[in-house]
Amino acid sequence: MQYRTGGTYLLRKAEILIVALVLLAGCMLGPNYKRPPAPVAAKWTEVGNSAVEPDRQEYRDWWTLFNDPDLTGLIQVAYRQNLTLLTAGVRVLEARAQLGIAIGEFYPQQQLLSAGVSYNRIPISIPYNIIKNTYWTDQFGAQASWELDLWGKIRRGIESADSAFLASVANYDDVLVTLTGDVASTYVQIRTLEQQIAIARQNTVRQRTAYKIALAKFQGGATSKRDVYQAENILGATEATIPQLNIQLAQSQNALSVLLGMPPGQLAQMLAGSSDIPTAPAEVAAGIPSDLLMRRPDIRKAELDAAAQCAQIGFAKADLLPTFSLFGSVGTISSNIGSASLADVFTAKSLAYSVGPTLQWNILNYGQITNNVRVQDARFQELQITYQNAVLKAQQEVEDGLVVFVESRNQVLFLKESVAAAEGALRIALIQYRQGIADFTTVLTAEQNLYSAQNNLAVAKGNIPLGLIATYRALGGGWQIREGRDFVPAETRDTMAKRTYWGGLLSPDKELRPKAVGLPAPSDVSPAPGLPEW
């Protein structure tokens, strides 16, 4: 019978234990993420209207449907320069690096090389049987420790970090959708205010003419000065609206400047084109409500946040079970005591090593661990409800945008008739006043009605594109323009690359796992850990 040496026997036992532990490594604690049910309508309320089509479109560049070069140029500038969008892009890079940290945890967590030399003195008061009480030692060594992922804790961490990374991408897309919508809405507001100011000035000219007529008749003794006072009152009230409109215009221009990432007061050249209110297309293809689950980035983010938190339940549950690690160290150590030499550190006789498994189990902390699992589960439930609420709000926003778009079109038709009637009434009232057939109150009423109708018409004309912009934003259009592009501009990437080594992660859209790029919802299968990223 052949006997193994002690060392060989122990190594064989260690190999058997390692194989057994690896076989257990397929276990994954905690629930796998499933998309929660959300209330979704079968169709939009306004689909029966001729202006709303049930066809589905992506609306990658929805703003081009307005055929306004100024608007298109402003959105291009905002995409390049907006600082809120840039912040969201940098957060994508941060989340990508966090994913790399989580992936690194799957591999030996402790990897250490060491070397040292020391001069030592033993107190002479202690009776050591040595020739001298001072000596040198030197050592070289390496050690590693690897916690095996038996219960899927580390893989759940990777799964959570992966979903968090994709959530940061969805957040970037949501910021981009909001940005394009805000730029377009602010631009329409500016053009509407410009129209309102022009209408107010036209009416002041018209009212000043009426004032001159009343003054002439008063000076001629045909009327009392009451007509003059009334004319001055209406004229002053109309003139007073212009400064207020100018304030709103300046504030809108300042807001647009910030959206473009530039100081206020630099928009004159960009707004030098036509001052007409953008003309909206005659109809909008709204698709069906269920399209929002895939199209809207804020819904994707809400779901990915829930998926990331779902993985945290399994991460927390793993603390209830023991952890198994493999530990190993190897090195050499020598001294100059007796016949030894420091140079012996490079010889086999100075070799020392140890290897074996370790076990740790927090057996007295179950109250804390169990309640931490409950905390993670409650947070997951909260995020599922948040997702369901996001789906509901998204449908509300689409419906709100559609009703503004549809009803503002109807309102414009009525107000055009109102303006035409008010113009006719004022024209006749002035003629009759000159002839002495009507009193001046009739003229004043006609002037007020005309100004009100024209101003309301301008606002309603602006509400049509505003309603359509709100619809496009609610449908989740616009974020697609970032596809194939980096999340931060070249100058930012250059600055960060000079400061820190980023490898290929400054262009994370090109470094993603193919199945992860642009996914509308997380996969039910946990991502493969992948290789460590240096």
Contacts of 448 (CB under 8 A, 6+ apart): 234
In the predicted model, is pLDDT for residue 520 greater than 60? no
For residue 147, the model assigns a pLDDT of: 86
Residue with tokens 């790029």: 517
| Nearest residue to 469 via CA among 262, 300, 277, 293 | 277
pLDDT band of 13, cuts 50, 70, 90: low
Residues 94-106 have a mean pLDDT of 89
pLDDT band of 245, cuts 50, 70, 90: very high
pLDDT band of 381, cuts 50, 70, 90: very high
Does residue 352 lie in a domain region?
Answer: no
pLDDT band of 16, cuts 50, 70, 90: low
pLDDT band of 103, cuts 50, 70, 90: confident
pTM for the model stands at: 0.86
Residues 444-471 have a mean pLDDT of 95
In the predicted model, is pLDDT for residue 88 greater than 90? yes
Range of the domain at 87: 6-26+66-106+149-273+292-322+361-516
pLDDT digits (tens, 9 = 90+) for 415-424: 999 999 999 9
Rounded alpha-carbon distances, angstroms, from residue 197 to 87, 275, 414: 37, 11, 22
The C-alpha atoms of residue 286 and residue 472 are separated, in whole angstroms, by: 8
For residue 127, the model assigns a pLDDT of: 66
Residues 452-473 have a mean pLDDT of 95
Residues 388-409 have a mean pLDDT of 94
Does residue 353 lie in a domain region?
Answer: no
The C-alpha atoms of residue 257 and residue 251 are separated, in whole angstroms, by: 10
**Is-contact 237 448, C-beta < 8 A?**
no
In the predicted model, is pLDDT for residue 39 greater than 80? yes
Mean pLDDT of the residues in the chain:
86
Higher per-residue pLDDT: 472 or 338: 472
Does residue 530 lie in a domain region?
Answer: no
In the predicted model, is pLDDT for residue 3 greater than 50? no
What total number of domains does the chain contain?
Answer: 1
Does residue 417 lie in a domain region?
Answer: yes
Contacts of 39 (CB under 8 A, 6+ apart): 388, 391, 392
Q: Which of 41-50, 60-69, 411-420 has the lowest mean pLDDT?
A: 41-50
Does residue 139 lie in a domain region?
Answer: no
- At 494, which CATH number? 1.20.1600.10
Does residue 162 lie in a domain region?
Answer: yes
